[in-house]
Chain A
Amino acid sequence: MRIQISHDTIYQYANPPAGVIQILRMTPRNHDGQYVSAWRIDISADCRVDAQEDSFGNLTHTFSVEGPVSELNVHVEGEVDTDDMHGLVRGAIERFPPALFLRETPLTAPDPAIRDFATAAKASAKADTLSILHALLTAVHAELTFDVDPTHAATTAQESFAIKRGVCQDLTHIFIACARSIGIPARYVSGYFFRNDGVVEQNAGHAWAEAFIEGLGWVGFDAANKISTTDAHLRVAIGLDYLSAAPIRGTRYGGGDEALTVRVHVDQAMRQVQG
């Protein structure tokens, strides 16, 4: 599938800040089943953009804008060819051994409720890791209701699990917390998802989890859609949780009254057909 992305993140400041620094993890890399044919980052302000690689092997772009800035638009667009790898992630850059991804983070720390939930899911499945993870995927999807209202970017797995509601980010955190609590390395993936229901304009990117299975390697699990990753998933950055894989993190000097608009356009490029 050839996925076309156009992603705008627009900050409007009623009270312009003196400066803004941001770090972007918005550039996908190539691996088996994913090939970036074109990718571009446009920042509406004049600034120097430094491309680097973070410790997980994600491509990052760092920039700082000298203010005052009243509006800032980070525009990303590109085209990526994907093939369905049935969830397997191969040929990607791996900087750390899988065991690192057993590490708990504040966003993904399990509480007794999550531990019990994970153990129950594990007990309901056959003994192999893949079956356990699929049981967990189904359980998380069934237990939680997708709801954009009650949670925000800093909601932890525990909070979201308590109210049984959340967005893809929360479902992913809960899935990761469960998997780690039963000894399976799991990590957070931020990216894009092409919806086959015809909805092209989305108001956020997508997130899912990857879990490590001995003999198979990393396998993608999308709790919000209750599927393993397919050619509709475009993988951009990985991390221990949302904070280390977030598309944009940053800070500003002074100013205030910030309004944030995100427009994500994920479409299928029709120019080519697979032969």
Chain B
Amino acid sequence: MLSRTADNLYWLARYVERAEYLARILEATQRLTALPLAYVGESNEWESAVATAGCANAFYAVFPEANEENVTDFLAFSTDNPSSIRSCFEAARTNARAVRTALTMEMWDAINGTWLELKRYGNGPTSREELSRFLRWVQESSLLFDGSAYRTMLRNDAYSFTRLGVFMERADNTARILDVKYHMLLPAHEHVGGPLDYFQWTAILRSVSALTSYHWVYRESLKPWLIADFLILKEEMPRSLASCYENIVTHLDKIASAYGRQGPSQRLARGIRTRLQNSRMDEIFQTGLHEFIQSFIADNNRIGATVSQQYLT
């Protein structure tokens, strides 16, 4: 396969995953800000939504302040923001078109249909209700694309590159949530157990669609250290860092055995996975949750660069 093709497949999947993640963030924030102030405290949730999306600099270059209208516009519809939902779908569709022959018909229909449908939303919905519908639709479109890829693609290197894109993006997103919200998860948090925490914790779990599965796994009320454990170390949880790395390693191994050689990406990914497997939450808290997440994000960026150097350029 040409590395250009691999690159397109990888980014196609990454952009679709990113759009879904942005929709989740917006939905969780919208829900949180709809609560009375007494429950959620004085913090500006729209600010942290921008931070979690990782585009604070670009945002404040355009808007002076983070509020519902600005943030929704910037994260969902702005053409100035290269990572808005709209830009993501457009970039995904451009990538898809470049490798049209490497995609199955179902995948192409899914992404092209999404792109056409996006036009119907114009410059953004006029009401909150419509925005909710839009965010649902974004998530459904991503599910449709992901499902088509899963059900129809030949299990070869092309498939592995799309999966790689999905899981790299997902690991990045989960780590970003943890990075912005880590202070809510520290055991020594000053007002532990108040309503504020409860709603913040549900919001974190909701943004990775894990509120129900949390209760299945722990059978307990929400505890910040268990939430951190769930999002970082539980391989059963499909958006946890551990699960993403399980998949990244699997697909890098498949690529390696298909091409008959392995290199720095495989070695690096295995190292990160090993560290996640061998860590325990109490040790992570001891050495510092924030430091752990920061070093994970650095590792994750490094592996993104390594994969792109080894395969995509």
Q: Name A's B-contacting residues (CB within 8 A).
A: 29-32, 35, 37, 81, 83, 91-93, 271-275
- Chain B 277-311, CB within 8 Å of chain A: the 1/0 string? 11000000000000000000000000000000000
Tell me, in angstroms, the Cα distance from A83 to B253 when the chains sit together: 16
Cross-chain contact of B278 among A30, A83, A275 (Cβ < 8 A): A30
Closest to B263 in A: A275
Closest to A94 in B: B278
Contacts of A275 in B (CB 8 A): 261-263
Interface pair B270/A272, CB less than 8 Å apart: no
Contacts of B253 in A (CB 8 A): 37
Interface pair B271/A272, CB less than 8 Å apart: no
Cross-chain contact of A29 among B256, B257, B261, B278 (Cβ < 8 A): B278
Nearest CB in chain B: distance from A108 CB, A: 27
Q: Report 14 cross-chain contacts, Cβ distance below 8 Å, ordered by A residue.
A: A29-B278, A30-B273, A30-B274, A30-B277, A31-B274, A32-B274, A35-B270, A37-B253, A81-B270, A271-B257, A272-B257, A273-B261, A274-B262, A275-B261
Known pairs A91-B278, A93-B278, A272-B256; A32 contacts B263 (CB<8 A): no
Interface pair A91/B274, CB less than 8 Å apart: yes
Contacts of A29 in B (CB 8 A): 277-278
Cross-chain contact of A91 among B256, B263, B271 (Cβ < 8 A): B271
Contacts of B257 in A (CB 8 A): 271-272
Interface pair B262/A272, CB less than 8 Å apart: yes
Known pairs A83-B267, A91-B271; A31 contacts B278 (CB<8 A): yes
Contacts of A272 in B (CB 8 A): 256-257, 260-262
Interface pair B278/A274, CB less than 8 Å apart: no
Known pairs A81-B270, A272-B256, A272-B257; A91 contacts B275 (CB<8 A): yes
Tell me, in angstroms, the Cα distance from A257 to B260 when the chains sit together: 48
Contacts of B262 in A (CB 8 A): 81, 272, 274-275
Cross-chain contact of A35 among B260, B261, B274 (Cβ < 8 A): B274
Known pairs A30-B278, A35-B274, A91-B278; A274 contacts B261 (CB<8 A): yes
Tell me, in angstroms, the Cα distance from A275 to B265 when the chains sit together: 10
Contacts of A83 in B (CB 8 A): 267
Tell me, in angstroms, the Cα distance from A83 to B278 when the chains sit together: 18
Closest to A35 in B: B270
Tell me, in angstroms, the Cα distance from A133 to B271 when the chains sit together: 28
Tell me, in angstroms, the Cα distance from A243 to B81 when the chains sit together: 62
14 new A-B contacts at CB < 8 Å, known A31-B278, A37-B253: A29-B277, A30-B273, A30-B277, A30-B278, A35-B270, A91-B271, A91-B275, A271-B260, A272-B257, A272-B262, A273-B261, A274-B262, A275-B261, A275-B263
Contacts of A81 in B (CB 8 A): 262, 270
Interface pair A32/B260, CB less than 8 Å apart: no
Contacts of B263 in A (CB 8 A): 274-275
